[in-house]
Amino acid sequence: MLDNPTREAVTAASDMGVERDGIRHDWTREAAQRIYDLPFNELLFRAQCVHRSSFDPNTVQKCQLLSIKTGGCPEDCSYCSQSSRYETGLKASKMMALEEVLEGARAAKANGATRYCMGAAWRGPKQRDMPAVLDMVREVKEMGLETCMTLGMLTDEDVAQLRSAGLDYYNHNVDTSERYYSEIITTRTFADRIETLERVREAGIKVCSGGILGLGETDADRIDMLVTLANLPEHPDSVPINMLMAIEGTPLEGAAKVDGIAFVRAIALARIMMPKSYVRLSAGRSEMSDELQAWCFFAGANSIFCGEQLLTADNPGEDADDLLFAKLGLKAEAGG
């Protein structure tokens, strides 16, 4: 964080309804739309001012994501290669062994990751699977890494067990706006997503929740999604913004690519409305130019997934990220 942000920076942030040390939970679509529609240079300037009030603008958090159980999911998320309803060529696998997960965690830490995120393709975890999941949380945490899990919907019992194991973060994306949600997923509701987020937050586990751009949604849907997150009782600690990677065999395999400028606008809006959250540039980076990623960092993105693969999709990899960081003068956030 800068020691002496300029008067103009503080004023710009305040003009957008964000006090330098304050948080808002009363955003309206109209207010968010006005910000989103600002001239591009003005929007980025204001987002960068807000960003500098809470974060070092040249430091980026590195996280690594591992699929601990791939494929065979009963949900019908239209973007997902792991749904059992679509012919994507992905074979379902059993849950990974603990030592295999820990080997990946050690490599992630060696590559500069400070958070290790583990995901399973489930509607929700079964109790028979929880002991193995809890061991993963405990052992990865013992390495000095922050732990994050994404396991689908959670019951009160699930949340209590994860909390006892010391889980730091739980990821459960809202994906898109409440209005558009049923066009993408029909096997669970938008309210189901919010309910899991409430359970996680009330248990004292940090929330990681964001969405995907490129599902066929409108700009208004993108704005509504971010307003939903910004108006939660507590802002998500991490807000991943994904660019759809259209997977052959899914209903969205022919989806049009997101306009890069529109994507940057969404990053900037997330930063302005959730000033103290990590905004993560997530899936889709392998298809982004260095220039587009640079604009995203300037707009307030300060977290990435590192490594060559996300759950099932390609990612730029360590070498590409090191080169990009060197070009931009960025450094990885130090671990705890």
What confidence tens digit (pLDDT) does each residue in 25-50 have? Answer: 999 999 999 999 999 999 999 999 99
Query: Is the model more confident about 175 or about 14?
Result: 175
What confidence tens digit (pLDDT) does each residue in 136-155 have? Answer: 999 999 999 999 999 999 99
Could you tell me the two tokens for 239? 């807000």
To 10 degrees, the CA torsion angle through 286, 292, 294, 295? -140
User: How long a stretch of residues is the chain?
Assistant: 336
Enter the pTM of the model.
Answer: 0.89
Positions annotated as catalytic residues are: 73, 77, 80, 117, 148, 208, 280
What confidence tens digit (pLDDT) does each residue in 263-281 have? Answer: 999 999 999 999 999 999 9
Q: Is 208 exposed, middle or buried (0-12, 13-18, 19+ CB in 10 A)?
A: buried
Sign of CA dihedral 247, 248, 252, 256: positive
